[in-house]
Each structure stands twice: as C-alpha cells, then as structure tokens.
A = this chain, B = another copy of it.
Amino acid sequence: MSQSVTPFSLRLNREICRKRTPALVGLDPRWEQLPPDIQARSRDLYDDPLVQRAAAFEEFCVRLIDVVAPLVPAVKPQAAFFEELGPDGCVALARVIRYARQSGLVVICDAKRGDIGSTAEAYARAYLAGADDKAAPWGADALTVNPYLGADTLEPFVKVAQERGAGIYVLVRTSNPGAGTFQDRRHEGETLYHAVADVVEKLSAANAAGPDEGLGSYGSIGAVVGATYPAELSQLRQRMPHVPLLIPGYGSQGGAAADVAGGFDAQGLGALVNSSRAINFAYQLAPYSEQFGPRKWEAAAEAATRQMIADLAKHTSAGKLY
C-alpha cells in the first residue's frame, strides 16, 4: 500500500470515535414500505415503474442519510434492492453511495460478491473507491465478499482494497436461520466458519496498521458475524484480533444490544453493529408508529437511531475511547 493512502481500518475507527458509536445504518429501500408521499411523488414524475422506484429509492436514501449522518459513522446500502430495478437502480445506488460519502459517512456496499482471479478483481474495482471518490463507479469504502470459492479468491479483493485504502468484509457466520447448514460443518473439530475466520485473520493481520493513534491494531479485511449467536461472536472476536467485525442481525432479525457486547475490544472498537429495517421503517413499528406516522418518518428513523446508539452504549466496554 502506498504510504499516502490512509487505511480503511484507521478511517473507520476515527469515525467511530468521532461519532461516539459503532452503530451502522443499513439502507434497505423496499418499495412496499416507503412512505406514501415518496411513492406518490415518484409516480407523478415518472411513467416507467422501474424509474419510479429508482427515483423513490434515491430520495428515501438521501433523506435517511441526512437524518443519520450526524449520528453514526457508517451506512450499508443493500445492492440487491437497487439491482432489482435494473440499470436505473444501479444509477441510484451509485448516487446514494456518493451522497453518503459526501455527507462524511463511511460506506460499506453490501453486495456479497465473490469470483475467481481477474473476475474477482473486476468486482473489487467496481465497488472499492477507498480514499479516492473517483476510483470506482460505485465508489464505496468497503464491500461485503463471499468466501465459498476459496482463500485464493479473496486475494484480488485484498489487493485492490490495499491499493485504494478500502476494506472488505468477508462473510464468516451469517445471521439467517439456516446459516449453520454449511457454516457449522466441522472438520477435525473446527467449523467451516472457524476456518474462514482463520483465513480472514491472517489476511487482516498481514496489513494491520499497527496501533496508530491508539485505535488498536486492525487490518482492513473485516468479517461479517451475525448477532444471533452471541457466544460465537465472543469467540470470533478473540480468534480474529486484527479483524474489524460487521454484525448484522440486531433489531429486526432478533439480536439485542447485550448480544453484541462480545464483539468489541476493551476500547469499544473492533465492530460495527448494523440495523436496517428497524431504522428505515421505524415509522411503521412500535413504539414509533403511534408517535410519528408516515409523514414524520424521518423523525421516527432518528428516534430509532438514537435508541440504538443508547442501547449499544450500555453494552460496549466501560473503558471505551468514546
């Protein structure tokens, strides 16, 4: 990595300290759940249903970014919802990523890509901008990556990430009910997700920044570890000391703040905790639905974000930096 490029892990940890929270807001636009006024406006403006939806997704995400940018260090747009709208959705995704970065947020594009050799490198070049906004068409700070194809297929992602000061988050243990089908299979006593974790730790340790600025010794190769399995989370935190974690499953998927405590180091660093639907569509959920309703969806999202931040603050380390 060129000396002039600030590593992803350092940029991320600075933002966590600056915002004083490890809360990560997922951007998961779902047409059926969008506030009715956003739906209606895009229907008035555009004829093509895909263009309507893409415009509505962009407006919704931009307004949500305005709500959360002062509060949290990072956002995680879900690529699938944009891709479902075809190329117009892809344009909207690129704009949403750019707007989030301009708003001072670290952006983790959740696209779960994975392929071999030069094909993997093409995905990395598509999504990883790192320090330079113009380096990639979807100019994110980090990308989620699927490890099934093998350790060699992670290397092109690592190479591009290091060149650009970007990061990747490799799927280690996911938060879905059937995550164990393959991930829990044991070989000589070790599960598959342990094996993936060991590969990720090795990759991240090799490029760890050193304890710069007192922010720990993390590399830029992260791991996705679901909050639905708290005991595993603590074990994986210890097993991957140089790996920043991305913890989904908080909120709508059933994880609670106490469940994610094991994901943090003694300084309160080392993990981001994601909530998507419970913040995006807080206006439809108790206790916010009664107080706010659809016209005040942004106030509901802000209240839900502040609640998440407060919940996380109770359960992260007492000795934390922020």
Contacts and interface: CB of A to CB of B under 8 A. Distances in A.
Given A147-B148, A148-B182, A192-B182, A176 B117 contact: yes
A57 to B, nearest CB: 12
Contact of A152 (B115, B123, B181): B181
B152 A177 contact: yes
A152 B176 contact: yes
B152 A84 contact: no
Given A153-B176, A187-B186, A87 B91 contact: yes
B182 A153 contact: no
Contacts of A149: 146, 171, 174, 176, 178-179
A85 interface: yes
Contacts of A117: 176
B112 A150 contact: no
Contacts of A192: 182, 185, 192
Contact of A182 (B78, B85, B138, B150): B150
Contact of A150 (B147, B151, B176): B176
A122 to B, nearest CB: 4
A178 B151 contact: yes
Interface residues of A, number: 55
A183 B192 CA distance: 9
A148 B30 CA distance: 25
A132 B138 CA distance: 30
A94 B84 contact: no
Interface string A151-169: 1110000000000000000
A199 B182 CA distance: 10
A148 B179 CA distance: 8
Contact of A146 (B94, B119, B148): B148
Interface string A108-136: 00001111111110110110000000000
B182 A137 contact: no
A54 to B, nearest CB: 10
Contacts of A118: 30
A86 interface: yes
A195 interface: yes
Contact of A123 (B83, B126, B181): B83
Given A50-B137, A150-B177, 11 more contacts: A80-B115, A83-B123, A84-B126, A85-B126, A87-B87, A116-B176, A181-B199, A182-B192, A182-B196, A185-B195, A192-B192
